[in-house]
Amino acid sequence: MVMTVPTIARTDRRWFRDLPDRLQEAVEAYDYQSKPEWSDLADLSEVTELQSIVTHGQSAVIEDGHWIAPATVYVRLLYEPGTKEQLELSEAFPARIEFEVRDDESIAITSIRADVSSFYDDEPSEEETP
């Protein structure tokens, strides 16, 4: 199997300079909450609301023949919504955006995967810390 590196029709400096803005626009148009990878975030609470996704397009790389960029996903987590015991938390998670650059140099998001492992990490409480 031959792995080809994605190419850009016109690899001029302007295109690369504009990549962060183009990537952010593509992410904003991407319907993340309808995609299977959203379930990692949706499972964190009874109601998980997407607040925003901030891309870091200036750090985009080509890895194993795929365009990859880091991002941060901001969500609001609601527990027992609509009750007196309602709890609301705001959380931010690092994410990995995979995308394609089409022949016309437009960007198409392939996936956004948030790393929610920090939510489940068991850190010792103050009582458990010696």
For the four alpha carbons of 35, 36, 38 and 44, in that order, the dihedral sign comes to: positive
Domain encompassing residue 34? 13-116
Pairwise CA distance, residues 95 & 112, whole Å: 7
Count of the separate structural domains present in the chain: 1
Output the domain CATH number for residue 30. 3.10.450
**CB contact at 8 A, 78 and 90:** no
Helices (H), 31-124: 39-42, 117-120
pTM of the model: 0.81
In a domain? residue 62: yes
| Tens-place pLDDT, residues 96-117 | 999 998 888 889 999 999 999 9
For the segment 53-102, what is each residue's pLDDT rounded down to a tens digit?
A: 999 999 999 888 889 999 999 999 999 988 999 999 999 999 999 999 88
Distance CA 41, CA 102 (A): 29
Give the pLDDT confidence of 4-47 residue by residue, as tens digits: 445 554 456 777 888 999 999 999 999 999 999 999 999 999 99
User: What single-letter DSSP state applies at residue 57?
Assistant: G
